[in-house]
């Protein structure tokens, strides 16, 4: 029998709490990073029922977990159990990464950081002075809108199926960061104009995600053009109808796989203090795509 020496009495722990967690690829990503760097760390998925979150967080603290990720549906709920959330995470209304320092828990949001890093890596373009459309006003949209406002975009045109949620999101950003968000209705002529004059279009909704692959969140495919960068946070399918329509019009398109990857990289950097080089990151990203067969 081959003796597995991966986990010993000294191994430190990382985890993921959420429900469900079975589909998550974070264990593969983080355990591969630890193997690559020779860190004696193991990352385990932990399915948690809502009424047990407090007890579980307490247990993770007592068990001296180095840190943990939080996924759907607890990214907001977790915040009340954290000792110190970053200002940015508070504005985003969500925490997906927690670091445990001597029994004190620090909450971060690396989702939007993942978005920003993947956007920069895949487009080579920065955000300062750009005009952006964000479709959707849920948790992901909020994190991205906060990040983009902080990174100096000129304007965010926000549309959502439920307009009231878009107005609430706009208020958070406009009142706390900068006055950059304007809310539109999908069918407004002014939205069509905002769409056309925007440099970056981002879908944050689940519309178009497998198995709903023939659907798109905007029925304005003729409004895409070749000077736009179009980003879909969805990565399954690899190219949504939204991205296909944009590509046909000559736009540069990016899917959400990089966001998923870089939110994990940013979390790992927070837990371990390690900083990956650009070269390492592109190699690791290539392997990560292989794990996912993408
Ligand atoms: P997440 O954390 O992934 O952002 P969420 O907070 O549930 O998830 O937000 C989902 C977003 O997708 C919302 O903007 C939602 O629109 P509503 O605010 O109107 O619910 C949007 N969305 C989901 N399904 C949709 C659909 N079939 N058509 C249009 N928008 C949809």
Render pLDDT for 107-144 as a digit per residue (tens, 0 to 9): 999 999 999 999 999 999 999 999 999 999 999 999 99
For residue 161, the CA-to-ligand 1 centroid distance in Å is: 8
List beta partners, residue 229. Answer: 200, 252
CB of 208 shorter than 6 A to ligand 1: no
Domain ranges in the chain with CATH number 3.40.50.10860: 12-109+258-293
Phi and psi dihedrals of 179, rounded to 5?
-80, 80
CATH architecture of 12-109+258-293: 3-Layer(aba) Sandwich (3.40)
Topology annotation, domain 112-255: Rossmann fold (3.40.50)
What pLDDT shows up at residue 290? 86
As a residue count, the chain comes to 294
The whole-number average pLDDT for the span 168-182 is 98
Instruction: Write b or e for each residue in 152-163: b if 16 or more Cβ atoms lie within 10 A of its Cβ, otherwise e.
Output: ebebbbbbbeee
Q: Pick the range with the lowest mean pLDDT from 21-25, 69-73, 149-153, 277-281.
A: 277-281
CB of 207 shorter than 6 A to ligand 1: yes
Residue 51 is given by DSSP the state G
What pLDDT shows up at residue 221? 56
For residue 207, the CA-to-ligand 1 centroid distance in Å is: 8
Give SS3 for 217.
coil
Q: CA 122, 252, 143, 222: dihedral to nearest 10 degrees?
A: -170
Best residue among 76, 135, 138, 184 to mutate for probing ligand 1, ranked by most atoms within 8 Å of CB: 138
The whole-number average pLDDT for the span 274-294 is 88
For residue 106, the CA-to-ligand 1 centroid distance in Å is: 28
Task: Note the pLDDT tens digit of each residue in 184-225.
Answer: 999 899 999 999 999 999 999 999 999 999 999 987 656 899
Q: Output the residue whose Cα is nearest ligand 1's atom 8.
A: 138
Is the pLDDT at 293 greater than 90? The verdict is no
For residue 14, the CA-to-ligand 1 centroid distance in Å is: 30
CB of 139 shorter than 6 A to ligand 1: yes
Q: Output the residue whose Cα is nearest ligand 1's atom 30.
A: 161
Is the pLDDT at 260 greater than 80? The verdict is yes
CA distance 285 to 184: 36
What pLDDT shows up at residue 219? 75
> Is 283 designated active site?
no
Confidence of residue 291 (pLDDT cuts 50, 70, 90): confident
- Which atom, in ligand 1's list, is nearest to the CA of 135? 14
- Strands 131-135 and 200-203 turn out to be parallel
Domain ranges in the chain with CATH number 3.40.50.720: 112-255
Confidence of residue 294 (pLDDT cuts 50, 70, 90): confident
What is this structure's pTM?
Answer: 0.95
């Amino acid at each position: 029998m081959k003796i597995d020496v991966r986990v010993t009495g000294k191994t430190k722990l990382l985890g993921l709490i959420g429900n469900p967690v079975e589909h998550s690829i974070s264990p593969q990503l983080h355990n591969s990073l630890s193997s690559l760097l020779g860190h004696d760390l193991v990352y385990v998925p932990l399915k948690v029922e809502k009424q047990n979150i407090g007890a579980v967080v307490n247990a993770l603290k007592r068990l001296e977990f180095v840190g943990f990720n939080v996924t759907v549906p607890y990214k907001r709920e977790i915040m009340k159990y954290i000792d110190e959330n970053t200002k940015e995470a508070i504005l985003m209304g969500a925490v997906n990464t927690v670091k445990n320092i001597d029994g004190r828990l620090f909450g971060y949001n690396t989702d939007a950081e993942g978005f920003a890093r993947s956007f920069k890596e895949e487009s080579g373009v920065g955000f300062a002075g750009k005009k952006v459309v964000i479709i959707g006003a849920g948790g992901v949209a909020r994190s991205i809108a906060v990040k983009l406002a902080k990174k100096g975009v000129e304007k965010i045109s926000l549309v959502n199926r439920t307009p009231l949620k878009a107005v609430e999101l706009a208020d958070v950003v406009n009142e706390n960061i900068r006055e950059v968000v304007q809310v539109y209705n999908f069918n407004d002529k002014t939205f069509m104009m905002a769409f056309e004059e925007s440099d970056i279009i981002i879908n944050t909704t689940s519309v178009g995600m497998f198995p709903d692959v023939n659907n798109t969140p905007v029925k304005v495919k003729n409004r895409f053009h070749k000077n736009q960068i179009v980003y879909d946070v969805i990565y399954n399918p690899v190219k949504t109808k939204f991205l296909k329509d944009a590509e046909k019009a000559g736009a540069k398109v990016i899917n959400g796989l990089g966001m998923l990857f870089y939110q994990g990289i940013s979390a790992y950097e927070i837990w371990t203090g390690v900083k990956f080089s650009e070269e390492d990151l592109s190699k690791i990203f290539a392997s990560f795509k292989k794990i996912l067969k993408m």
